[in-house]
Structure formats: structure tokens, C-alpha cells
Structure 1
């Protein structure tokens, strides 16, 4: 049998073991928590990494845990190595009632595994580990060093990769099964920032406003708590928002008024697929609060300047790019900060193509905010990733994709950010085809298990080709 046929047979024979190990790791809730001794991203992630490395040892790999920031499993010999890297941290699951299964069950329904992390990214990276087990067993003459790397901070800072590169040499070539098939030759830059404004607590009808927990997620809902003297205006204005794409609800409490805006969650790389309850809530508030309200300036800025668009046009940063996709703007978190004086803050996530840059965003956002008397705070930035389609890394993986699938899809550009931005010599490769909608970061996140199995064959053959 050919290498492809041998690997395919082995992967199929042992696929239930792969699914079992994925389910074991999915059952561990690995959402970032407060740092504690020996657990830089919380105890759940420490446990998740330890259990992942236990699985790798049971499969016969040498394992290394880098202080619970990140770990890896490897086999083979040589100075250089081929890397496969993914992450076991996940975003919060949200309202359990919106899931059709328990979100940390790993339950398989039909051809899909439904769970937080099934697609992003526990399912793919554990399957890649098993693909390397197949390569190790099926091609005994293969002795190039290969390393499967398990990150723990991809969803909230990438401190794990920075730590890894401070301790370890970068791979000769690597890929991350955290994008889509075929090869991802370009990823947009990621730029996060906040707008902030101070206000006089006693001179506003707004008691509190909350929404979102991650800047890279369009949240499901946002809430504002108001003084009761605004109740009649809120009820009257509600009639004008009945046709809005989000759902508003006004709740009268004993001593305050609560307004809930429910949207549609989405990944920040494609905010146009969701409906943002934060920006819509500011549109509603701008209609009901007084011109004399100490928060009116910020509310008016959010509604009249930022707006509800996801292309950045209100902030003068709209950028189109046919090859890699246009700039997108997503609003992720709103909160009141109990400083003296009090302040309101809204955090945003931009995904931008290669025909704009960090300095342009810096200067433009600063200027737009200053013109309205709003404070601009720059936070994190990762530059765009771009490989020529003729680059060996792209060409070799593209060759494997076509051999396995018989599809003619061209290399793709994505708005999502992966470890490829931070790890040198790395592209995203897998785990799903473009037509599969797995709803990462949303309810009922899922992974097609047939697609997962086919991906394993591509990972094994991809490493063979790169080595």
C-alpha cells in the first residue's frame, strides 16, 4: 500500500480512540481564569494541559510542560523540527439553555461533535496528535523531529506563544489546524482598542451598563440599568425599535429600570454575521437620555460616530481588499469603571488587511476620538500575516490538500487570527472546509467528524511533505 493508503487505514481503525481522547479534554472547562501559583491562566487550563500531555505520553510521545504556559509532545530526531500547534483554551460557553447539548460533553449528534472546543480548537489539535501517532506507527523509516504544541492562551492574549519562543527554537515549518482548508496564505491584522469617557455619576440617568466578556466575540446581550424617571420615554421609544434586528425588553424593578438588548453572537473576525447588542443599545439610549445627561457625549459618540456598521466607516478606517478581505470592526465589551470620577469604557476588535497599517489606525482613531472629546486607548496589536502562494510552505500543503480531497480550492485568506501570526514559518491549515459552518465562539459549536478524520490524513501527509 502507498503511504496515503496505509495512513488512511490506520486512522480509520483507531478513530474511536481519537474521538474518546477529544471528549476527555473537552470535558475539562478550560476558560481563562485568574492566575494562581503554578497556573498562569487558571486551574482549569493547568488541568487541561496536564491531561493533554498525559494522553500524549500514553500514545508514546516525549512530552514537555513549559510551566503550564504551554506544552508539547514530540518524536523523531534532528536539529530542526516540523510543528503542529493548536490551543486547548476556549471562550466561555454562555447561556447553557441556548445549547442543544451540555456544552462540555463532547456529545456526537449525527455526524457532528457538539461542544465548546469541538472545532476551536481541542478537536483539531487532539486529532493532529493522533495523526502523528499514525505517522509514527505507519512510516517507521520517518525519523524527522515533529512537535505537536498545545497552547493555553490563544483566546485572550497569546502569552503562551511568547513564553514558548523565549524558551524554545522556532520550527522550520509549522501549521495550525485552527483556520480552514485549504491553506490559509493570509490572515488579517488584529488591533484592539478602547474608547473611554469620564462622567459625573450624580448627573446621569444611567446607573450601570454591562455587555460582553471577550473583545473577540460579538456578545449575545447587553444590559443598561436606569433611574425610573426615564421609564415613560423608554416605553415610548421601544415602539420605534420593534423592527430592529435585535430584541429589546424593558423591565421595571422596584427602584430602577432595566433594559435588555439581545443580539446574535458571532466571532469578531466576521461581526457582520451577528447582531451587536452593545451598539444597538447605545442607539436606543441616545433616543431616551437627556441632552444634559453627563453620559450624553459618549452615548452620542457611540451612536452617531461609531454607529452600528461593522466596516469601520464611521471611524474613517474603512478599508477594502479583494484578495484578503475588507477591514471589520467589532464591539466586544462595555462597562462602567468605578474610578473617581466614574468612567465608561467600550472595547473593540479590528481585523484589517495588508493595505492598511498599525500607524494609520493609531492616528485615525486618536483623531476621531479627540474631535469628540473621547479618550482613545490602544491595547493589543498583531500585524497581518501574508505568504506568497508560491511559498514552499503554502505549495506543499496545498499539494496534499488536492491529493486527498480532489478539490481545486485555491489558498484562502481569513479574518480570524491564529498562532501563525506569532509563530515564525507557520500557516493555518484546516480543520474544516469553507462550506462548513461550525459556529466557533457561538452556541452549538460543532465539528463534522468525517471532516475531522479526513483532516488527520492531511496533517500526517502534510508533515511527510514538509519534512
Structure 2
């Protein structure tokens, strides 16, 4: 633990620089940076938004005295050159974000500051934490500290949709001695569940009543808002909590659902808006018989995130139970219906088991199933120096006694040989109801958590730099 004089100096430095930190977070949050492949091109493989965010992040790092570089728009790097430039300690964050649904109470790309919280898409995942970690490095740079190894920031732009940024990085650069990411919870994640995604597809739809349906923002997010348009008589439809009906004319009704969204890795406490629409359509006989079969499949998936209903329930001692959610639903022009799923799974399950169980479940409802992607579980030794030192930094600063854990979310660290996610969330601290979480409406984070994270990262950088690699 740092001595009291050092801690007092860090506290004062954080306060003196805090408004600059907030301004830099705001600058990044105000840039819409969702993947946009329709407008991708040379130098912007993920579209113009992620590129603009990358350029802004690199400009910030350059202002801090780092040597910054844009690598063909795929990924960015920014270095404080150390005594040993052959070995690098890396901090990796991402500047891309998931799409924003219609349930926000404010413009998601205009950061607001309210009662000690920053609200806006990316304040928590992952623009705010990235800015904080960069300022932590700036602290040591201003103190004249010579890093024993080069400290490299990796600025990702494709974390939410494909990890192509990190694949590019690994193809062009050597493995870091150690890498950490401010994209999870405290104290330290020593492992991450596997991430599996796929899509259910209905059989032929005859005499369909669903006119249009494109619900959910991303496969890895539980939607808080969703709507569907069906052929129906609005005068015969009942009211229902969370459901809004709108007469679209020509015998069509728009049905909106308002649930409670969240990250696919944390389904507990959420209410899937797609599931609400499914229930309303089934309860009020708003679908044809062939559509009903598929909606019953959706209900089986969405109603039980343990996976028992679709035959994939599993757990292990390291990661705990498997979870599975329905993230997006849509209708093709020919009437065919689709439902995506996203599972976070332990070591006792595999891609082959998913394909077998989910295909068998689909067949019961005259549907088919296909895998989209699979990433196996990852973990490092929780007794290793890095995990132990990072855990101690957090516990010493907070007076708590927390231990390393494994998580359901996926971070960049799983793609490297020696890495761990360090902060910044503290889910045991209750936020106001108007503050949303990762991937949800009104995403936000407290300034308290960000200030604490800045101090944690200041001390963590020094601790990791003192390890003999």
C-alpha cells in the first residue's frame, strides 16, 4: 500500500484534474460510435462513428504526451515509452458502443451530469473507464516516473460486435507481458465465461398476421423497448401493464412493450421487451397457427434464462450457472421469423452441446437453429502476482476484503495469454432507478466510482510495473 503522503498527493491530483477528466469523457460520449458497416470503407472498417471516436481518443492520448498511432482504422495504440520497450504492459479499452433503443429519457449521445452521475451511452461501457485509465497513466508521466516497461494503451473500436480490432492487433504486434481492461467489476476478473450466439428460424409462415417486426438493439443486450405491428382490430384489444397500443390504419396495430433491459451476461432483474410482446400476442390470439409455434419457441427461450427450457442448463464451480437470453427478433419479407440467442456458459458446456440441444428444441416447434459464433471460457491463475496485486490495490483503497472472481461478460482480456479485467463496476453499490447499466437505457456511472477507479489505476500501474517480467 502506498504511504499516506502519496495517497494525499493522489487525492489532490484527482480533484485538481477532475473537470478535465469529465470533459474528455463527454467528448467521447457525444460521438455516436456504433458499428455501421453500410458506410465502412478504407481507413474505417467499422464505419465513420468508430473512426471518429478512435481519432478523438488518440488525440487525447497525444495531449497527455503519449506516442499515438492509428492502425488503418482497425485499432489505435498510444505509448509512454519505458526503459524496456521490448516488453509492454497494456491497458485496453473500447470506444465503440452498442446501439441505443427508444427508451432513453435523454439524448444518449449528449452526456448529462446529474446528482453525481454521468449519463450517456459509453459513460460506463467503456469510454468513461478508458479515459480514467489514461489519466492514471498521465499522473505518473507528470511525476517524472520512468516506466520500467513501455505502457501501451490499446484503443479498440470493435469490441461489441466482432473483436476484429484485437485480432488485427495480435496479427501485427507481439503479446504484451500483461494486459488489463477497465471493462468489468472490481476487484479483479480472473476468468470469463464462454460466449455463444446463434439464431432460431421459423418454418414457412402461412396466413401470417405479423406485418413487421424488428426488435432489440443487439444480440448481447436484453431489450428494454420493442414493438411489433400486427393485423388486428384495436378496439378488441385489452390494456396491459407495459404495453401501448397504436392504431396504424388499414386494420394494423402497433404494439409497444416497455421492459427493463441490460447486458446479456446479467439477466437477473431484467424484463425482456420481446418476451412481453410474445406474451401479449399469444394471450390475445394475434398470430396465425404457424406464427404461434415460433412464438411459443421464443417464450420457451426468453422466460427462463437458466436454459432449462431449451435444454442447455449447466454450471461448474469456477463460473457458476449458464445463462441464455433472447436479444433480437425480426421478420423477413417472406414472413419468416427469427430469434437470436446469447449464452454465457461454464466449462461444462460446449458449442457442440449447444447445437444439439437448441436444434432439438427448434425441431419441436417446426423451426431450425444455426450457430453464429462461439468463444470458449478463459481464466488465469487467481494466485498469480498480477491478480493478487490488483486485488490488494482495490481492497487497500476501500477497506474491503473482496476476492478475485469470474464473470459472464466478455472482455478483450480473453484474447491474450496473460490478462485480467480490473474494475470499474461495483454492483453491490445501489444506484438510483434513473441510472441504467451496461447496454441499457440511460446508461450511467457515478463520479464516485470513476474517481475511485482513477486512484485504483494510478496505484495499479505502479504495482504491475514493479513485477519482474
TM-score (norm 1): 0.90
Between the aligned partners of 1:307 and 1:162, the Cα distance in structure 2 is 32
Partner of 2:155: 150
Q: 2:341 aligns with which of 338, 348, 352?
A: 348
| 8 Å Cα contact 1:11-1:131 kept in structure 2 | no
Q: Deviations over 1:332-354 (max 9, x none)?
A: 1111123xx54211111111123
Q: 1:414 aligns with which of 407, 410, 422?
A: 407
* Range moving further from structure 2, 1-10 or 344-353: 1-10
Q: 1:168 aligns with which of 167, 170, 173?
A: 173
| 8 Å Cα contact 2:100-2:217 kept in structure 1 | no
Q: 1:313 aligns with which of 302, 308, 312?
A: 308
Q: Identify unmatched segments of 5+ residues in structure 2.
A: none
1:12 equivalenced with 2:15 (yes/no): yes
Between the aligned partners of 1:231 and 1:119, the Cα distance in structure 2 is 40
Q: Could you say if the C-alpha distance between residues 56 and 281 of structure 1 is closer, same or farther in structure 2, counting changes exceeding 3 Å?
A: same
Partner of 1:284: 280
| 8 Å Cα contact 1:7-1:138 kept in structure 2 | no
Q: Quote the RMSD (CA, aligned, Å).
A: 2.3
Between the aligned partners of 1:263 and 1:357, the Cα distance in structure 2 is 31
The Cα shift of 1:208 comes to: 2.1
The Cα shift of 1:313 comes to: 1.3
**Structure 1: which 4+ aligned runs deviate by more than 6 Å?**
none
Partner of 2:390: 397
Q: 2:101 aligns with which of 77, 81, 94?
A: 94
Q: Identify unmatched segments of 5+ residues in structure 1.
A: none
Partner of 1:209: 213
* Range moving further from structure 2, 316-325 or 447-456: 316-325
Q: Could you say if the C-alpha distance between residues 231 and 390 of structure 1 is closer, same or farther in structure 2, counting changes exceeding 3 Å?
A: same
What pairs up with 1:255-274 in 2 under 5 angstroms? 255-274=251-270
Q: Could you say if the C-alpha distance between residues 448 and 262 of structure 1 is closer, same or farther in structure 2, counting changes exceeding 3 Å?
A: closer
Q: Could you say if the C-alpha distance between residues 62 and 266 of structure 1 is closer, same or farther in structure 2, counting changes exceeding 3 Å?
A: same
1:434 equivalenced with 2:430 (yes/no): no
1:33 equivalenced with 2:36 (yes/no): yes
The Cα shift of 1:7 comes to: 3.9
* Range moving further from structure 2, 17-26 or 48-57: 17-26
1:332 equivalenced with 2:335 (yes/no): no
| 8 Å Cα contact 2:68-2:78 kept in structure 1 | yes
The Cα shift of 1:322 comes to: 5.7
Partner of 2:80: 75
The Cα shift of 1:321 comes to: 4.3
The Cα shift of 1:378 comes to: 0.3
| 8 Å Cα contact 2:355-2:370 kept in structure 1 | no
* Range moving further from structure 2, 3-12 or 210-219: 3-12
Between the aligned partners of 1:200 and 1:141, the Cα distance in structure 2 is 67
The Cα shift of 1:85 comes to: 0.6
Equivalent residues, number:
453
The Cα shift of 1:127 comes to: 1.1
Q: Could you say if the C-alpha distance between residues 137 and 249 of structure 1 is closer, same or farther in structure 2, counting changes exceeding 3 Å?
A: same
Partner of 1:300: 296
The Cα shift of 1:107 comes to: 2.5
Match of 1:166, SS state, is helix
Between the aligned partners of 2:150 and 2:6, the Cα distance in structure 1 is 18
1:225 equivalenced with 2:229 (yes/no): yes
| 8 Å Cα contact 2:380-2:419 kept in structure 1 | no
Between the aligned partners of 1:108 and 1:94, the Cα distance in structure 2 is 20
| 8 Å Cα contact 1:4-1:461 kept in structure 2 | no
Q: Could you say if the C-alpha distance between residues 39 and 142 of structure 1 is closer, same or farther in structure 2, counting changes exceeding 3 Å?
A: closer
